[in-house]
Structure 1
Amino acid sequence: MGMGTSTFVIRWVNLLTMLLAVAVIIFGVWMSTHNDGCRRSLTFPVIALGGFIFLISIIGFLGACKRSVVLLWIYLFVLLIVLIAILVFTVLAFIVTNNGSGHSNPGLRYKEYKLNDYSSIEKRVKSDYIWLMTEFHHLTKNS
């Protein structure tokens, strides 16, 4: 596969990704027109995600069209960071949603989960709560 074939593939993949990013941005704008609080709260993250995807696609598309090595390296580095972030998110999602920690209850089709099943998360929440309350007490005492 020569240089021409790889840049051709990069151009088309990024062109399709740009179109999908525009669709995500339009979906975010559509969500902002609804009065539902849940949809409105997700408006900015959806538009930001669409903009980020669009920016990455533009960098890859221009790097392939102009045969700019610098833009292609930036594109590859950003994609590496995105892939690592997806990997970390997936591992954390598997840790948090571990099937082995649920407790079966008679008459229920699902397992019940309690915070103490995740002792490390519970310790972190408790320590941050204690820290937050200490700081709040400190601030209100000095005012």
Structure 2
Amino acid sequence: MSAGTSTFVIRWINFLTMIMGYGVICFGIWMSTHHDQCHRTLTLPVIGLGALILLMSLVGFLGALKNIMVLLWVYLAMLFLMLVAILVFTVLAFIITNNGSGHAVSGVRFKEYHLQDYSVCFLRQLNNTKNWGRLKSCLVKTDDCNNLPIKYKNLKAYKSAELTPIEAGCCRPPSECGYPAINASYYDLSYHPTSTSKDCQLYKNARNVKCYDCDSCKAGVAQYMKTEWRVVAIFNVILFIILSAVYLVACCARRNAASSNSLKEERR
């Protein structure tokens, strides 16, 4: 790749990523003003990511614009470390999300989830009292469970629905309990549970109780996390390929800048 082409490509790539970095920072600032504590907890990571993107892009842009060797070396080092971090995270994400899947339930279309099926990493986070307290408060605020009767007007529609893992695990008692469903959010708890599972004792019809303290709810969250991590991992594979191409172009720009500087010194 010629000197002009490589530096031109690097300049424009980093100019666009600088704009993206500003956008991520602005999004993080918007989240910090959000009243929902669940969104607010993500503020610092989002702003930090935006600042990192902005800093790296600025270094690469100035290095390519002025053919400054030091900045190009710093940019290459930062880009290389980011590639390594993405690769390590992606491999770990695929390993961690390898376990766990839904179990079919007779008479309904949705699946139920068992906590013990999932990765130790998920179990450690979900069984931590402080972490789960924060997650539970978020689940209660989303009001997903209380909206089920609005989505499903009768029991036939409810039982034929494909509930999300969180709806299946947090909004209802496990099927093994044997509680008859009155509607999509209310169960007849006067029946003696057919299972000794503690989830059967923990479930209540109250809006802020439901099965939020149940292992089935934690399993539903684990399945949701697994799905999200898989999406992120696939995105990271694509990002890794793109950044690898950018890295190769940056290497050409750095080499061409070095040659240009050498010619200038020889002419002097």
TM interval, shorter chain, is 0.7 to 0.9
1:81–1:22 Cα change, 3 Å: same
CA contact (8 A) 1:63 1:70 kept: yes
Q: Residue 70 of structure 1 aligns to which amino acid in structure 2?
A: V
Note the 1:1-143 alignment, pairs <5 A.
Answer: 1-98=1-98, 101-102=100-101, 104-106=103-105, 107=108, 109-110=110-111, 112-115=113-116, 117-118=118-119, 121=120
Structure 2 runs not aligned, ≥5 long: 129-268
Deviation by residue 1:99-123 (Cα, 9 ceiling, x = unmatched): 5x436242463462434654xx37x
Q: Residue 33 of structure 2 aligns to which amino acid in structure 1?
A: T
Q: Distance in 2 between matches of 1:96 and 1:85?
A: 16
Deviation by residue 1:76-103 (Cα, 9 ceiling, x = unmatched): 111111111111111111111115x436
Q: Distance in 2 between matches of 1:22 and 1:117?
A: 37
1:58–1:28 Cα change, 3 Å: same
3-state secondary structure, aligned to 1:35:
coil
3-state secondary structure, aligned to 2:35:
coil
The structure showing larger relative contact order (alpha-carbon pairs under 8 Å, at least 6 residues apart) is: 2
Deviation by residue 1:54-86 (Cα, 9 ceiling, x = unmatched): 000011001101101221111111111111111
CA contact (8 A) 1:105 1:112 kept: no
Q: Distance in 2 between matches of 1:2 and 1:104?
A: 57
CA contact (8 A) 1:18 1:54 kept: yes
TM-score, structure 2 as length reference: 0.42
Q: Distance in 2 between matches of 1:77 and 1:21?
A: 19
Percent of residue pairs bearing the same amino acid type: 52
1:110–1:56 Cα change, 3 Å: farther
Q: Distance in 1 between matches of 2:71 and 2:35?
A: 41
Q: Residue 6 of structure 2 aligns to which amino acid in structure 1?
A: S
1:117–1:72 Cα change, 3 Å: same
TM-score, structure 1 as length reference: 0.74
CA contact (8 A) 2:18 2:58 kept: yes
Q: Which structure has the greater CA radius of gyration?
A: 2
Give the root-mean-square deviation of aligned CA atoms: 2.3
Equivalenced residues, count: 122
Q: Distance in 1 between matches of 2:80 and 2:112?
A: 37
- Of stretches 107-116 and 70-79 in structure 1, the one that deviates more from structure 2 is 107-116
Which structure dedicates a bigger proportion of its chain to helix? Answer: 1
Q: Residue 89 of structure 1 aligns to which amino acid in structure 2?
A: F
Structure 1 runs not aligned, ≥5 long: 130-143
Q: Distance in 1 between matches of 2:117 and 2:95?
A: 14
